[in-house]
Amino acid sequence: MAMFALMLVVAETLAVTAARRWFPNEPYTVSVTPAITTIIMMRWGPWAGLHAALGGIVYCMASGAGLKHYIIYAAGNLMSLAALAYIRAAT
């Protein structure tokens, strides 16, 4: 899981900083957090919450966001754990 966390931090930082530099007028960016969180979720279950929150924090750090954005992105990424609860309830 540490390897995935490192991949998440590096890829998210590169994606955000490169997107801001190459496409300054675009209102969106591409995030690798959902993909890595999903991989962790399918293998290790609720531990994916750490990677989901980490992805939001790294995104905000790389983009220079304010405090309220840290809370919004970290909590928003944690909502992906609802999919895990749904999948486990359906099986």
* Contact between residue 4 and residue 36 where contact means Cβ atoms under 8 Å apart: yes
pLDDT digits (tens, 9 = 90+) for 27-80: 777 889 999 999 999 999 999 999 999 999 999 999 888 899 999 988 889 898
Cβ-based neighbours of 38, under 8 Å, separated by 6 or more:
48, 80
Surface-to-core class of residue 40, CB atoms within 10 Å of its CB (0-12 exposed, 13-18 middle, 19+ buried) = buried
* Contact between residue 78 and residue 55 where contact means Cβ atoms under 8 Å apart: no
* Contact between residue 71 and residue 59 where contact means Cβ atoms under 8 Å apart: no
Q: What is the pLDDT of residue 50?
A: 94
**pTM for this entry:** 0.83
